[in-house]
Structures are given as structure tokens and as C-alpha cells.
Amino acid sequence: MFNSSLTYELGVLKKHAWKMLLTVPPTSSAYTEARRLLRLLSHCKDIADALVPYNSIIREFTNGSIFRY
């Protein structure tokens, strides 16, 4: 395993994950984890996708990656 995470990644992912996490219903087994992640992300500032290099691995999960498979 190779940890390639960068400090700005949570700020980039926040806007992509926030809306999805809010849709997890209280009856779901994932509800507690979704709320935990929302609390974690609430401490992060949004970072625009445009500030992320096009060859960054995080673009595989957001948009605009230069990698093609």
C-alpha cells in the first residue's frame, strides 16, 4: 500500500460527498458513519477542483483527470 494522500484532499472531496452523506436516512446502517463524516468535513474549507493539478490522483474521484483507461 502506498499512501498518496495530500492535505488538501478533504477540502476537494467535501463538496462532492456532502450532499450524498446528507441523503443517508436514519434507518440506514450507514447513518452513524455518514454523520461522523459530516462532522469531520464540517472542519474543512471547500477547495475548488480548478486548483487541483490535472494529473492528481484525486481527479479520478472528482473530474477532469488526464488519465484515460
Q: Does residue 46 lie in a domain region? A: yes
- The total number of residues shown for the chain amounts to 69
24 confidence band (pLDDT: 50, 70, 90)? very high
- Whether residue 2 lies inside any domain: the answer is no
56/65 Cα distance (integer angstroms) = 7
Q: What percent of the chain has pLDDT over 70?
A: 100
Residue 1 inside a domain? The answer is no
Domain membership of residue 56 (yes or no) is: yes
The overall average pLDDT reported for the chain is 91
Residue 3 lies in a domain: no
Structural domain containing residue 23: 9-60
Question: Quick check: is 38 in a domain?
Answer: yes
pTM of the shown model: 0.75
d(CA 21, CA 28): 11
Which residue in 16, 1, 21 sits closest to 49, CA to CA? 16
Domains contained in the chain, number: 1
Task: Tell me, yes or no, whether 4 lies in a domain.
Answer: no
